[in-house]
């Protein structure tokens, strides 16, 4: 979707997050390349929102180092917010103001603010111009926050569970607008979510958090290539693969593997009949790495 460079817009180096004696994350390290669409996934309580708060300078990590657009988040927070757009998990704005009034208010905070583009987005997403923010639906509030967050043409857009609580129609409206925006503006995006089906449509790189640590950080394309479901006859033995799970069926056997390659599969299938390799959804991969099944 976008052209990547090696320049990182966000860096996490050995980040640990604790609340009292409770450890949420420990030793998390990864970088977000400029121009990427980066998704942070994890179960509820895995530390996704905490990680974003640390990156935005709103929370101090227990340990570790962070860089946002080349600066330390807390010391450079004011300047960094001029270059960053944020859509929080809970849409938050003065409840008595309408969307156009909120756009005018936000525009007064920036030297450059594209009022025409914001108005166009609000119109495309069918946000009523005369209804106060507090009376909008959850989906309309999120759509409004997205439009406002893009008004100052940020280099980086951070979204914390943007589809949380949205019905199917509202979710499609927000996601379609987001995808269109990414295609046109080329902005770097970090989205933290547990909405795996939605994020699979547009994420280019996936981070999965679980068990207080970073479980994986990998481009979506390679992740979906190396995780596969292999099916074979009752006699099939999945030697040569790292199997995440094996299941016996009346018709044969299948295994979910995490180290699939075309060469390995072709070598394994030689001399066997009824063998096939199937793609896995991001949700299936997530459950294999961070779900309850992975804890046993």
What's the pLDDT score for residue 174? Answer: 85
Q: What is the pTM of this model?
A: 0.88
Residue in 112, 84, 80 with CA at minimum distance from that of residue 188:
84
* Consecutive H or E run containing 228: strand 228-232
**pLDDT of amino acid 292:** 54
Q: Is 205 helix (H, G, I), strand (E, B) or coil?
A: strand
Q: What is the pLDDT of residue 165?
A: 83
* Predicted pLDDT of residue 296: 35
Mean pLDDT per 10-residue run, the chain (296 residues)? 64 96 95 93 91 95 96 92 93 96 96 94 94 96 94 94 87 84 80 90 93 94 96 90 93 94 92 89 92 49
User: Could you tell me whether strands 37-42 and 243-249 are parallel, antiparallel, or unpaired per DSSP bridges?
Assistant: unpaired
Residue-range domains of the chain with CATH:
8-219 (3.40.50.300), 228-279 (no CATH)
Instruction: Give the distance from CA 55 to its chain's centroid.
Output: 15
| 193, 208 contact by CB (below 8 A) | no
Cβ neighbors of 100 (< 8 A, separation 6 or more) are 119, 122, 129
Could you tell me the sign of the dihedral formed by the alpha carbons of 51, 56, 61, 67, in that order?
positive
* 106 within 8 A of 151, measured Cβ to Cβ: yes
3-state secondary structure of 65: strand
Residue with tokens 């959804």: 281
What six digits make up the tokens of 222?
Answer: 């390679």
Name the pairing type of β-strands 84-87 and 156-160. parallel
| Residue indicated by tokens 């909120």 | 102
């Amino acid at each position: 979707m976008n052209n990547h460079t090696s320049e990182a817009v966000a860096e996490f180096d050995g980040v640990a997050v604790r609340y009292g004696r409770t450890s949420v994350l420990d030793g998390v390290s990864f970088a977000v390349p400029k121009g990427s669409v980066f998704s942070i996934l994890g179960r509820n309580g895995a530390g996704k929102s905490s990680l974003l708060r640390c990156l935005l300078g709103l929370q101090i990590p227990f340990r570790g180092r962070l860089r946002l657009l080349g600066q330390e988040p807390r010391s450079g927070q004011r300047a960094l917010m001029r270059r960053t757009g944020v859509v929080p998990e809970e849409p938050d704005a003065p409840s008595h103001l309408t969307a156009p009034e909120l756009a005018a208010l936000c525009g007064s905070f920036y030297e450059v603010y594209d009022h025409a583009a914001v108005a166009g987005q609000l119109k495309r997403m069918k946000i009523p111009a005369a209804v106060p923010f507090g009376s909008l639906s959850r989906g309309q509030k999120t759509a409004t926050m997205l439009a406002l967050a893009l008004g100052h043409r940020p280099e980086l857009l951070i979204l914390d569970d943007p589809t949380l609580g949205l019905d199917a129609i509202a979710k499609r409206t927000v996601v379609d607008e987001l995808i269109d925006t990414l295609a046109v503006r080329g902005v770097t995006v970090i989205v933290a979510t547990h909405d795996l089906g939605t994020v699979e449509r547009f994420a280019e790189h996936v981070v999965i958090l679980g068990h207080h640590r970073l479980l994986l950080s990998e481009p979506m394309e390679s992740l979906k290539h190396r995780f596969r479901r292999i099916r074979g006859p009752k006699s099939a033995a999945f030697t040569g693969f790292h199997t995440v799970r094996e299941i016996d069926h009346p018709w044969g056997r299948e295994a979910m593997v995490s180290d699939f390659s075309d060469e390995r599969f072709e070598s394994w299938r030689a001399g066997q009949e009824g063998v096939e390799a199937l793609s896995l959804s991001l949700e299936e991969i997530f459950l294999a790495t961070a779900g309850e099944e992975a804890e046993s």
